Amino acid sequence: MTSPSPAAILLICCPDRRGIVAALSAFITEHHGNIIALDQYVDTANGVFFARMEWELDGFTLPMDGFAAAFRPLAEPWGIQWSLHLSTARLRMAVMVSRQAHCLYDILARTESGEWPVDIALVLSNHPDHRPLAERHGIPFQHIPVTAATRAEAEPLQIQALRDAGADFIVLARYMQILSPAFVQAFPMRILNIHHSFLPAFAGARPYHAAHDRGVKIIGATAHYVTETLDEGPIIEQDVIRVSHRQGIDDLVRLGRDLEKIVLSRAIYAHLTHRILVYRNRTVVFT
Amino acid sequence: MTSPSPAAILLICCPDRRGIVAALSAFITEHHGNIIALDQYVDTANGVFFARMEWELDGFTLPMDGFAAAFRPLAEPWGIQWSLHLSTARLRMAVMVSRQAHCLYDILARTESGEWPVDIALVLSNHPDHRPLAERHGIPFQHIPVTAATRAEAEPLQIQALRDAGADFIVLARYMQILSPAFVQAFPMRILNIHHSFLPAFAGARPYHAAHDRGVKIIGATAHYVTETLDEGPIIEQDVIRVSHRQGIDDLVRLGRDLEKIVLSRAIYAHLTHRILVYRNRTVVFT
Amino acid sequence: MTSPSPAAILLICCPDRRGIVAALSAFITEHHGNIIALDQYVDTANGVFFARMEWELDGFTLPMDGFAAAFRPLAEPWGIQWSLHLSTARLRMAVMVSRQAHCLYDILARTESGEWPVDIALVLSNHPDHRPLAERHGIPFQHIPVTAATRAEAEPLQIQALRDAGADFIVLARYMQILSPAFVQAFPMRILNIHHSFLPAFAGARPYHAAHDRGVKIIGATAHYVTETLDEGPIIEQDVIRVSHRQGIDDLVRLGRDLEKIVLSRAIYAHLTHRILVYRNRTVVFT
Amino acid sequence: MTSPSPAAILLICCPDRRGIVAALSAFITEHHGNIIALDQYVDTANGVFFARMEWELDGFTLPMDGFAAAFRPLAEPWGIQWSLHLSTARLRMAVMVSRQAHCLYDILARTESGEWPVDIALVLSNHPDHRPLAERHGIPFQHIPVTAATRAEAEPLQIQALRDAGADFIVLARYMQILSPAFVQAFPMRILNIHHSFLPAFAGARPYHAAHDRGVKIIGATAHYVTETLDEGPIIEQDVIRVSHRQGIDDLVRLGRDLEKIVLSRAIYAHLTHRILVYRNRTVVFT
Helix, strand, coil percentages in chain A from 3-state DSSP, rounded to 5: 35, 30, 35
pLDDT for residue B2 is more than 60: no
**CA-CA distance, D103 to D97, in Å (whole number)?**
9
- Is B243 an interface residue toward C (CB < 8 Å)? no
Determine the Cα–Cα distance for residues B20 and C34; give it in Å rounded to an integer: 10
Comparison of pLDDT for B5 and C193, the residue scoring more: C193
- The one-letter code for the residue type at B226 is V
What integer best gives the mean pLDDT of chain C? Answer: 94
* Helix/strand/coil for B133: helix
- Enumerate residues 6+ apart whose C-beta is below 8 A from B265: B106, B107, B110, D258
pTM score, whole prediction: 0.96
pLDDT (average), residues C73-100: 96
The pLDDT value given to residue D3:
46
Whether residue C254 and residue A287 make contact (CB cut-off 8 A), yes or no, is no
Q: Residue C44 and residue D248: Cβ atoms within 8 Å?
A: yes
C3 — pLDDT class (breaks 50, 70, 90): very low
DSSP conformation letters of D145-186: ---TTTHHHHHHHHHHHHHHTT-SEEEESS--SPPPHHHHHH
Residue D2 has pLDDT above 80, yes or no: no
Task: Write a three-state SS string for D111-135.
Answer: HHCCCCCEEEEEEEECCCCCHHHHH
Chains that touch A (3 or more CB pairs under 8 A): B, C, D
The tens digit of pLDDT for each residue in D198-239 reads 999 999 999 999 999 999 999 999 999 999 998 999 999 999
Spatial separation of the C-alpha atoms in residues A236 and B147, rounded to whole Å: 40
Which run of H or of E encompasses B210? helix B207-214
pLDDT in tens, chain A (287 residues): 444 689 999 999 999 988 888 889 889 989 999 888 888 888 888 899 999 999 999 999 999 999 999 999 999 999 999 999 999 999 999 999 999 999 999 999 999 999 999 999 999 999 999 999 999 999 999 999 999 899 999 999 999 999 999 999 999 999 999 999 999 999 999 999 999 999 999 999 999 999 999 999 999 999 999 999 989 999 999 999 999 999 999 999 999 999 999 999 999 999 999 999 999 999 999 98
Of D9, D20, D11, give the one whose Cα is nearest residue D77.
Answer: D20
D197 touches chain C (CB under 8 A): no
Buried b (16+ CB within 10 A) or exposed e, B226-250: bbeeebebbbbbbbbbbbbbbbbee
Q: Quick one: average pLDDT of C160-167?
A: 98
Q: Can you give the length of chain B in residues?
A: 287
Question: Does residue C141 contact residue C130 with C-beta atoms inside 8 Å?
Answer: yes
- Percent of chain D's residues with pLDDT above 90: 87
Number of neighbouring beta carbons within 10 Å of residue A164: 12
In this structure, what are the phi and psi dihedrals at residue D137, rounded to the nearest 5 degrees? Answer: -90, 5
- The answer to whether the Cβ–Cβ distance between D262 and B258 falls below 8 Å is yes
Q: Which residues of D touch B101 (CB under 8 A)?
A: 109, 113
Q: Scan residues 71-100 of B and list those with Cβ closer than 8 Å to A.
A: none
| Residue C262 touches partner A, C-beta closer than 8 Å | yes
pLDDT band per the 50, 70, 90 thresholds, residue B4: low
Condensed to tens digits (0 to 9), the pLDDT of residues B202-213 reads 999 999 999 999
Q: How confident is the model at residue D25 (pLDDT cuts 50, 70, 90)?
A: confident
Residues of A in contact with B282 (CB under 8 A): 214-215, 245
Q: How far apart are CA A116 and CA A273, in angstroms?
A: 9
What is the band of B3 on the pLDDT scale with cuts at 50, 70, 90? very low
- Separation between Cα atoms, residue A207 and residue A201, nearest integer Å: 8
* Mode of pairing for the β-strands spanning C81-86 and A218-225: unpaired
Range B7-86 has CATH code 1.10.260.40: no
Contact in structure between C195 and C235 (CB atoms under 8 Å): no
State the smallest CA–CA distance between residue A167 and chain B in angstroms: 27
CA dihedral (D239, D242, D248, D249) in degrees, to 10, reads 10
pLDDT for the residue C4: 63
B248 contacts D258? CB cut-off 8 A:
no
Give the pLDDT confidence score for residue D277 in this predicted structure. Answer: 98
User: CA-to-CA distance for B101 and A214, rounded, in angstroms?
Assistant: 29
What is the Cα–Cα distance from C270 to C2, expressed in whole angstroms? 11
Domain D91-285, classified CATH 3.40.50.10540, yes or no: no
Which range (A22-26, C179-183, C202-206, C278-282) has the least confidence? A22-26
C-alpha to C-alpha distances, A68 to B18, B123, C237, D4, nearest whole angstrom:
76, 65, 52, 38
Q: Considering A65, A129, A231, A251, which one is annotated as catalytic? A: A231
Number of H helices, E strands in chain D: 8, 13
Contact A18 D3 (CB under 8 A): no
CB contact under 8 A, C40 and B38: yes
Q: Confirm if D135 and D107 have CB atoms less than 8 A apart.
A: no
**Interface chains of chain B (3 or more CB pairs under 8 Å):** A, C, D
Q: Quickly state the pLDDT bin for D39 (edges 50, 70, 90).
A: confident
**Which of D18, D38, D242 lies at the smallest CB-CB distance from A21?**
D38
pLDDT of amino acid C170: 98
Angle between helices A20-30 and A67-78 (to 10 degrees): 170
Confidence (pLDDT) at A1: 42
Give the pLDDT band of residue B19 (cuts 50, 70, 90). confident
Q: List chain C residues with CB under 8 Å of B33.
A: 18
In whole angstroms, give the CA distance from residue D272 to residue A125.
Answer: 54
Phi-psi region at D114: left, alpha or beta (left = phi > 0; alpha = psi -120 to 50): left
| Chain B residues with CB-CB distance to C44 below 8 A | 1, 3, 36
- The 3 state secondary structure assigned to C70-85 is HHHHHHHHHCCEEEEE
Domain extent listing, chain A: 7-86, 91-285
Q: Does B101 touch chain A (CB under 8 A)?
A: no
Q: Which of B21-25, C170-174, D261-265 has the lowest mean pLDDT?
A: B21-25
* Pair C121, C166: CB distance under 8 Å: yes
pLDDT in tens, B43-97: 888 999 999 999 999 999 999 999 999 999 999 999 999 999 999 999 999 999 9
Over residues C215-227, the pLDDT tens digits come to: 999 999 999 999 9
Q: Is C69 an interface residue toward B (CB < 8 Å)? A: no
CB C192 within 8 A of CB C236: yes
Task: Output phi, psi for A205, to 5 deg.
Answer: -80, 155
Residues of chain C with pLDDT > 70, as a percent, come to 99
Strands (E), A129-233: 141-143, 169-172, 191-195, 218-225
Per-residue pLDDT, D4: 63
Q: Torsion angle of alpha carbons B97, B102, B105, B108, nearest 10°?
A: -60
Whether residue B126 is predicted with pLDDT greater than 80 in this model: the reply is yes
**Catalytic-labelled residue, pool C58, C164, C213, C231:** C231
Q: Report yes or no: C125 and C97 within 8 Å, Cβ to Cβ.
A: yes
**Long-range contacts, stretch D178-182, CB < 8 angstroms, 24+ apart:** D178/D148, D178/D151, D178/D230, D179/D155, D179/D226, D180/D151, D180/D152, D180/D155, D181/D228, D182/D155
Give the residue-averaged pLDDT of C32-43.
86
| Torsion angle defined by CA atoms of residues A234, B250, D240 and A223, in that order, rounded to the nearest 10 degrees | 0
Query: pLDDT per residue over C143-152, tens digit each?
Result: 999 998 999 9
Q: Looking at B231, B239, B250, B258, which residue is catalytic? A: B231
Does the beta-carbon distance from D25 to A28 stay under 8 Å?
no
Residue C51 has pLDDT above 80, yes or no: yes
CA atoms within 13 A on the CB side of B262: 24
Task: Report chain D residues whose CB lies below 8 A from the CB of A18.
Answer: 29, 32-35
ipTM confidence score? 0.94
Mark whether B58 is an active-site residue: no
Question: CA-to-CA distance for D273 and B93, rounded, in angstroms?
Answer: 37
B250 and D1: CB-CB below 8 Å?
Answer: yes
Chain C residues with CB under 8 Å of A258 CB are 262, 265
Taking an 8 Å cut-off on Cβ atoms, the answer to whether C248 and D45 are in contact is yes
For residue A71, give the nearest of A7, A2, A12 by alpha carbon: A12
Q: What pLDDT is attached to residue D22?
A: 83
Contacts (Cβ under 8 Å, ≥6 apart) of A175 = A96, A97, A98, A125, A126, A193
Residue D146 pLDDT:
96
Residue C247 and residue A105: Cβ atoms within 8 Å? Answer: no
pLDDT digits (tens, 9 = 90+) for D147-167: 989 999 999 999 999 999 999
Are the C-beta atoms of residues A196 and A260 closer than 8 Å to each other? yes
Which residues is C195 bridged to in the sheet?
A: C222
pLDDT of residue B14 exceeding 50: yes
Q: Tell whether omega for the bond before C200 is within 30 degrees of 0, i.e. cis.
A: yes
Q: pLDDT (tens digit, 9 = 90+) per residue, D252-274?
A: 999 999 999 999 999 999 999 99
Q: Is the pLDDT of residue C84 over 60?
A: yes
Shortest CA gap C81–chain D (Å): 19
CA distance D187 to A100: 59
**Paired strand residues for A120:** A93
The average pLDDT across D279-283 equals 96
Query: What is the spatial order of strands in the sheet that C235-242 belongs to?
Result: C141-143, C118-125, C91-97, C169-172, C191-195, C218-225, C235-242
Category of B94 on φ-ψ map: left (φ > 0), alpha (ψ -120 to 50) or beta = beta
The pLDDT-based confidence of B151 (bands split at 50, 70, 90) is very high
A114 touches chain B (CB under 8 A): no
